[in-house]
Chains A and B, each alone.
Chain A
Amino acid sequence: MTKVGQAVMKIAGRDAGEIGIIIDVINDNYVLVDGMTRRRKCNIKHLEFLSAEVKVKKNAPYSETAKALESLGIKVSEKKENKKEAKERPRKTRKYDRKEKSAADNKKAAKKNRK
């Protein structure tokens, strides 16, 4: 049953109830699944095999598996990309930045000189 292109349903964990497609067979116990589930390695014991099979290349990208799932009549939602754009955060302002510190030191020195 473990074959690239086999439609499966995850029955355990956070992705339970989601349908995916086997993209790669890693060994006797583990396969790579993508589709409505997150793309991840799964134990076969945590999968229920469905009756359908699809033509999918090994290690196919999500765009292809999504199309294959749609051909099975499953509504596919767009996956959010995990990569977040690096936001510019306001830097922690230190009380005495080097320049400021030197400036403050200079002021102190000036005061001393006046005295």
Chain B
Amino acid sequence: MVAPRYRSRALRRVFVKTPGGRVNVHYKKRKPSGAKCRECGTVLRGVPREIPSKLKRLAKSERRPQRPYGGCLCSRCMRKFFVQKAKEIVLKND
């Protein structure tokens, strides 16, 4: 029987194949849910789903897309936002 603390489902189970061919169970912390768009709520692409300590190990450019509102808005919502902004802009026309 496994240790009592491993009987709950608080930790996720990762099956690891050892070099000898056996399958071992590793107990690991659960990952948080994926990042979502602030506007429409779809899961953001280009944002890795990892625990913060592992995210910190990544380069900044690997953590979110390299564009304004990258990691906050999905690309569609960002475009809508800037289209709206472009309409509001007032330029001196000479």
Contacts and interface: CB of A to CB of B under 8 A. Distances in A.
B86 A72 contact: no
A17 B92 contact: no
B91 A11 contact: no
A53 B93 CA distance: 7
Contacts of A13: 67
A52 B93 contact: yes
Contacts of A73: 91-92
A56 B75 CA distance: 31
Contacts of A17: 68, 82, 85
Interface string B78-92: 110011011101011
B25 to A, nearest CB: 43
A52 B67 contact: no
Contact residues on A (Cβ < 8 Å of other chain), bracket: 10 to 19
Interface residues of B, number: 16
Interface in A39-96: 48, 50-53, 71-74
Contacts of B94: 71
B42 interface: no
Contact of A52 (B78, B82, B91): B91
Contact of A12 (B79, B86, B89): B79
B92 A11 contact: no
Interface of A: 7, 9-14, 16-17, 19, 48, 50-53, 71-74
16 contacts: A9-B86, A10-B82, A12-B78, A12-B79, A14-B66, A16-B78, A17-B82, A17-B85, A19-B89, A48-B83, A50-B89, A52-B93, A53-B93, A71-B94, A72-B92, A72-B93
